[in-house]
Amino acid sequence: MHIRLRKGDRSDIDGLSALLAGLFSLETDFTIDPEKQKAGLALFFDGREGKAIFVAEDNGILVGMVTCQLVTSTAAGGYSILLEDMYILEAYRQKRIGTALIRQVQNWGAEQGAMRIQLVADERNTTAHVFYKRLGFQGSFMTGLYLPLGR
């Protein structure tokens, strides 16, 4: 195994979409729809600043990913990073790849002037909750909600 971390690019969209299918099989609030996921991933590479995807690859095969984007936080009094998607192939878990990807997000966020990272995780995914808490993420009394805009 030879893991390499790097910033993702447009050529990764198919592999990233496959990783999202794995994630959305766990997070059942979402539907696996490769065309929608590819359209969303393409927005990360539209030339606008304030967003990034970091990937882990093993001999050219994507085995992990994390997406992040800046949002304005009135609570933090500055920028916060919204960690939207994170997924590691099961065979590559427990090898510190997820921790390394979070560190990439932290470094990127520091360069952007962000003050914190925020995320929501499926409450049924206890493994993810343990992972995030081990890295220092704190629990919240906030509940994630969303409203589809009819598209």
Domain assignment present for 43: yes
Asked if the structure places residue 147 within a domain, the reply is no
Confidence of residue 151 (pLDDT cuts 50, 70, 90): low
- The residue segments making up the domain with residue 31 are 3-132
pLDDT tens for each residue of 66-102: 999 999 999 999 999 999 999 999 999 999 999 999 9
Give a yes or no: residue 148 inside a domain.
no
| 47 within domain boundaries | yes
How many structural domains are present in the chain? 1
58, part of any domain: yes
pLDDT at position 96 is: 96
Which pLDDT tens digit goes with each residue over 133-142?
999 999 999 8
The answer to whether residue 53 sits within a structural domain is: yes
Question: Which phi-psi region, left, alpha or beta, contains residue 82 (left: φ > 0; alpha: ψ -120 to 50)?
Answer: beta
Asked if the model's pLDDT at residue 117 lies above 90, the reply is yes
Residue 139 domain-assigned?
no
Judge contact between 101 and 65, C-beta under 8 A.
yes
pLDDT band for 28, please (50, 70, 90 cuts).
Answer: confident
List the CATH number of the domain containing 77. 3.40.630.30
Q: pTM of this prediction?
A: 0.94
Whether residue 119 has pLDDT greater than 70? yes
- Percentage of the chain with pLDDT > 90? 87
145 located within any domain: no
